[in-house]
Amino acid sequence: MPQTTSPRTFLVSGGASGIGEATVRQLVARGDRVAIVDRDAVRLATVAEELGVQVLALEADVSSEQEVEKTTAHAVRHFGCLDGAFLNAAVPGPFQSLMQTSAADFDRVIAIDLRGVFLGLRETMRHLTGASRAGSIVVTSSLAGLTAGRGLAAYTAAKHGVIGLVRNAAVEGAAHGIRVNCIAPGLTDTPLQAPLREFHGAQADALQAQVPLGRMGDPREAAELACFLLSDAAGYLTGAVIPIDGGALADSPLRTSKN
């Protein structure tokens, strides 16, 4: 299918910071309209004010069924349609070993990072079913959705679960013209990195140096991938999980040389 140039309307969760914010900016730059959903009222207002009428700011918690239903319906009402969503909001949770993780912390991370994606997928798919144009949804998992992450048991469980949801949604959505894909970022330079750096302490820079490309990703790079997947240029892609990680997943921790 050729890439369309007509403006589209998307909902972006976690759109007030990092990868989500970079994606909102790229969508707006190409003429699309965006409903930004985020629980950070201050950042949300700042980004929305700067971007103007193409953007609708919706303060909400993605783990709340009522709030996700309300914000999705609000976006559809405000713009008159919805062509897809970037379900990207998440928290890393406490950086603790599995044995130190409380059930309350586990539940909180699963509620935002996994249940939040389920709710976002369900509400967006309900609105896209029967729409006149093909829909596209992109979900943010993580390298932690494909491998283990030391000190991140709940986050790792949630990010693995998100990939299962994406595959299920892709298979069920296909009959309704809805594509669903997943990006799996590696180390990316956003505010979410701060607690990770604190956890790894003096080893944080060494961790970054181990990435084959030798650096963290820029959030704009992950945003480019999300925008491509949302667009008709990715018309034959669904159910895909695409790492954007500077080669980290391809590398072996057992290698003996950097060359």
Ligand X SMILES: NC(=O)c1ccc[n+]([C@@H]2O[C@H](COP(=O)([O-])OP(=O)(O)OC[C@H]3O[C@@H](n4cnc5c(N)ncnc54)[C@H](O)[C@@H]3O)[C@@H](O)[C@H]2O)c1
Active-site annotation, residues: 155
The least distance separating ligand X from the CB of residue 77, rounded to whole angstroms, comes to: 20
Nearest CB to ligand X, comparing residues 173 and 243: 243
Kindly list the strands in the beta sheet with 9-13, ordered across the sheet, starting from the edge strand earlier in the chain: 55-59, 33-38, 9-13, 84-87, 135-140, 178-185, 241-244
Nearest CB to ligand X, comparing residues 90 and 178: 90
Between CA 118 and CA 33 the distance in angstroms is 23
Nearest CB to ligand X, comparing residues 104 and 175: 104
The least distance separating ligand X from the CB of residue 45, rounded to whole angstroms, comes to: 12
Nearest CB to ligand X, comparing residues 5 and 203: 203
Between CA 79 and CA 32 the distance in angstroms is 11
Q: CA 216, 14, 178 angle in degrees (round to 5)? A: 100
In angstroms, what CA-CA distances link 190 with 16, 94, 152, 193, 220? 11, 17, 18, 6, 10
Helix and strand counts by DSSP (H, E) for the chain: 9, 7
The least distance separating ligand X from the CB of residue 258, rounded to whole angstroms, comes to: 22
The residue ranges that bind ligand X (CB under 6 A) are: 13-14, 16-20, 38-40, 43, 61-63, 88-91, 112, 140, 142, 185, 187-188, 190-193, 219
Between CA 106 and CA 158 the distance in angstroms is 9
Phi, psi of 64 (to 5 degrees): -95, 120
What is the enclosing helix (H) or strand (E) of 10?
A: strand 9-13
The least distance separating ligand X from the CB of residue 86, rounded to whole angstroms, comes to: 10
